[in-house]
Amino acid sequence: MNEKFSFKKLIQLYEEIISVNHRTEIARELRDEDDLFLFLCLSETLGLPNPAYYYTLELYPYMLEKFHEWHLRMGMDKSPLTGFRCC
Amino acid sequence: MSAIWLAVIGTVVFILGYRYYSKFVAEKIYRLDPNYVTPAHEFRDDVDFVPTNKIVLWGHHFTSVAGAAPIVGPAIAVYWGWLPALLWVVLGTVFAAGVHDFGTLVLSVRNKGQSVGTLAHKLIGKRAKILFLFIILILVLMVNAVFAWVISNLFVKFPASVIPVFIQIPLAVWIGYAVYKRQKKMLIPSLIALAVMYLAAIVTSRVPALQIDLVSYFGGEEAVTLFGLNGVSMAFFVWIIILMVYCYIASTLPVWKLLQPRDFINSHQLVVGLGIMYLGLLFLNPDVTAPAINPAATDKSWFPLLFITIACGAISGFHGLVSSGTSSKQLNKETDARFVGYLGAVGEGFLALISIIAVVTLFANAGDFSAAYSSFSAANGGGLGNFINGGANLASGIGIPADIAMTIISVIVVSFAATTLDSSVRLMRYIITELADEYNFKPLTKPHAATSFAVIASAALVLLPKGPNGFGSGGYLLWPLFGTANQLLAAISLMLISIWLKRLGRNYLVTFVPMVFLLVMTVWAMIQQVVFEWSGLGATDMNLLLFVFGAIILVFALWITLTAMLELSKRSNLNK
């Protein structure tokens, strides 16, 4: 409450107010796109041939962080991959 | 009497309601705890559950619930005079809508951010959830039909508003592209869009060639066109088909491409519209020319019809869907619920208040008012047009010429109605999918199939009732059904809050009394209309469509009343 008033902050607040209505839906749409991308990257491990596996392999360390939430979202309580250390 | 007094009375009661009544409810009934870990923190995923500043969340709640409905209802209900409408809007907001919006928010926060439908399942049983989904389905179907009619009606009556409204679509697509693909800030593009729209409104108001008047294109009101329809019927038919095609596209596109940027523009329009009219009211200081109680309103009794004619603006079940669907998942602190929920309802009360003021100051004298509001069906058909003329009259107080103000106000109302329409088609698609999943009916679980079903059913519903201007112009007949479904939904939400409060051993009268009131009004109004008006048993002919829908709503209302009584008595036995 004691924060100094600034016009910039006011505009930020206003922008947030008018964008918050669809924030959830847009975040969900983006997450769906990410989920599909993650599935494509993991396709080799799931038994589907992936011509770009040489490159996607390099992404695995970064994907590992998102992997647990991804397989939960996909309706699998446990990790479907033996090569991935997860839950 | 100066109309400023109406605004002052409304404002004072709203302030007192927020300052004292909501404080009492927050502290003694809902017992908000500033240390309670809200679902936004407990389940934070940055998609559904995001802790959000209370002012931002209030803005979300207000802009989600403020649409064309709180304008249309009061503009019709002044038929009985301004006093009953004013009292219901002001007292309904303070004692019913406020505790309802606030209560559904708290109930959901205390139950992991679950929606009212899921809570109905949890607190009463599976059948209650299915019943709830069917009521929402009927409600959104009514919303689609009513608002498609509202927009078509405004396009027919105010042809200058067509181009500014349609310009909004490419502008919104451009904003969506600028914000999401080019990472631009949204304020400047949406202000530019608003300026372009209002510039277009000025031009179309003054250049008749740019007014898309379909009735005259088809050769005038009496002309016979395709399928033997007259000019007005054909204009309604064409507009409704165009709107439904638009809805189909808008509700299947990704949100950021059209819906969200349209909402950016419309949020500004809400501010501009309210600003123009309240400022105009101050500068113009018009007199209230309509009677406080209309002695000529004899064809329909205000009791109980007033309470379903004004749904949004006094209390509306749709708010509970917003409170429990999204706001509850984003509440930062439990104590913010009072600000977000109660004040969100108050915001809508202000919109309903200006709608009443605009209409009751429009006419030169009580005689003109009586001529415009000669019967309830005249009020239904012309209420919104009167609001636009009244709003333009208020806007003239700050120097905007009447013809331009009329186009701008109609653009604002159409934009609100269009937002409600496409969001509601989208919502209907989700519900159809959920019900199809529940009953294992695979074809309707697909988005395009569900949307097609939603759009075709809505178009059929709006085109079927016959109005004074023929085919398609009778959409306003659905307004009481829309109001009833909405109030019924509010009654269920209030019942859930009452059951929850009773189980916690708290005083539940603050929600129980408005619940009983709404249920009695809904059942009463429906019996009156279904049995004496639409069934053919009374003085009028049978109206099968309204009779079937009315009967369904009536059965649901009775079912809910019984469920509530059983549930509340069962718990009291347990407590003993």
In angstroms, the separation between the Cα of residue B533 and the nearest Cα of chain A is 41
Residue B261, number of CB atoms within 10 A of its CB: 30
Residue A43 token pair = 């396709």
Provide the terminal-to-terminal Cα distance of chain A, rounded to the nearest Å: 43
What's the gap in Å between the CA of A36 and the closest CA on chain B? 16
**pLDDT tens figures, B130-184:** 888 888 888 888 888 888 988 998 999 899 999 999 999 999 999 888 887 777 7
Q: From chain B, pick out residues whose CB is under 8 angstroms from the CB of A32.
A: none
Range of the domain at B361: 4-575
Which residues in chain B are closer than 8 Å to A28, comparing Cβ atoms?
47-48
Nearest-angstrom CA–CA distance, B179 and B185? 6
Are residues A20 and B55, on separate chains, in Cβ contact within 8 Å? no
Burial bucket for residue B202 (CB in 10 Å: 0-12, 13-18, 19+): middle
Predicted confidence at residue B470, as pLDDT, reads: 63
Closest CB from B46, B47, B186 relative to A18: B186
CA distance B104 to B117: 11
What's chain B's average pLDDT? 88
For the stretch B415-449, pLDDT in tens is 888 888 888 888 888 888 878 887 888 888 888 89
More confident residue, B69 or B34: B34
Rounded distance, CA B358 to CA B288, Å? 9
What predicted TM-score, i.e. pTM, was given to this entire model? 0.88
Surface-to-core class of residue B325, CB atoms within 10 Å of its CB (0-12 exposed, 13-18 middle, 19+ buried): buried
**At B469, is the pLDDT very low, low, confident or very high (cuts 50, 70, 90)?**
low
Mean pLDDT of B317-322: 87
Return the pLDDT at B432: 87
| Mean pLDDT on B402-424 | 88
**Banded pLDDT at B80 (limits 50, 70, 90):** very high
- The residue type at B340: V
Residue type, B35: N
Minimal CA separation from A28 to chain B, in Å: 6
The tokens for B371 are 């001529």
- Work out the angle at residue B312's Cα, subtended by the Cα atoms of residues B465 and B421, and round it to the nearest 5 degrees: 55
Question: Angle at Cα B312 formed by Cα B306 and Cα B317, nearest 5°?
Answer: 105
**Are the CB atoms for B558 and B523 separated by under 8 Å?**
yes
Number of H helices, E strands in chain A: 3, 0
Pairwise CA distance, residues B465 & B471, whole Å: 7
Per the structure, the count of domains in chain B is 1
The whole-angstrom separation of Cα B328 and Cα B107 is: 9
Distance in Å, alpha carbon of A83 to nearest chain B alpha carbon? 27
Partner-chain contact B254 A13, CB within 8 Å: no
Task: Give me the residue label for tokens 């709006």.
Answer: B462
| Residue B570 banded pLDDT, cuts 50, 70, 90 | confident
Residue A50 burial (10 A CB sphere; 0-12, 13-18, 19+) = middle
More confident residue, B401 or B478: B401
One pLDDT digit (tens) per residue for chain A, 87 residues:
556 778 888 888 888 887 887 788 888 888 888 888 888 888 877 788 888 878 887 887 788 778 888 888 888 877 777 766 677
Specify the 3-state DSSP secondary structure of B397: helix
- Residues of chain A in contact with residue B63, where contact means CB-CB under 8 angstroms, are 17-18, 21
Q: Which residue of A has its CA nearest to B267?
A: A18
* ipTM, interface predicted TM-score of the complex: 0.73
Bond preceding residue B304 cis, omega within 30 of 0: yes
Lowest-pLDDT range, B265-279, B431-445, B560-574? B560-574
Residues 6 or more apart from B402 whose CB is under 8 A from it? Answer: B392, B393, B396
Distance CA B422, CA A21 (A): 14
Cα angle A30-A33-A38, degrees, rounded to a multiple of 5? 125
How far, CA to CA in Å, does B287 sit from each of A24, B4, B73, B503, B567? 46, 8, 22, 51, 50
Residue B575 pLDDT: 38
Task: Among A13, A25, A29, select the one facing B56 at the smallest CB separation.
Answer: A13
Higher pLDDT, B543 or B36: B36
| Three-point CA angle B516, B517, B519, nearest 5° | 65
Three-state SS across B311-374? CCCCCCCHHHHHHHHCHHHCECCCCHHHHHHHHHHHHHHHHHHHHHHHHHCCCCCHHHHHHHCC
Report the chain B residue with the minimal C-alpha distance to residue A22.
B260
Residue of B nearest to A28 (CA): B47
pLDDT at B576: 36
Interchain pair A22, B267: CB under 8 A:
no
Question: Nearest Cβ partner of A18 from B255, B259, B267?
Answer: B267
Which residues of chain B approach chain A closer than 8 Å at the C-beta? Answer: 46-48, 50, 52-53, 55-57, 59-60, 63-64, 185-187, 190, 254-256, 259-260, 263-264, 267-268, 326, 329-330
pLDDT higher than threshold 60 for residue B51:
yes
Within 8 A by CB and 6+ apart from B193, the residues are: B168, B171, B172, B174, B175, B264, B265
Which pLDDT score is estimated for B369?
A: 93
Which chain B residues are Cβ-neighbours of A73 within 8 angstroms? Answer: none
Contacts of B37 (CB under 8 A, 6+ apart): none
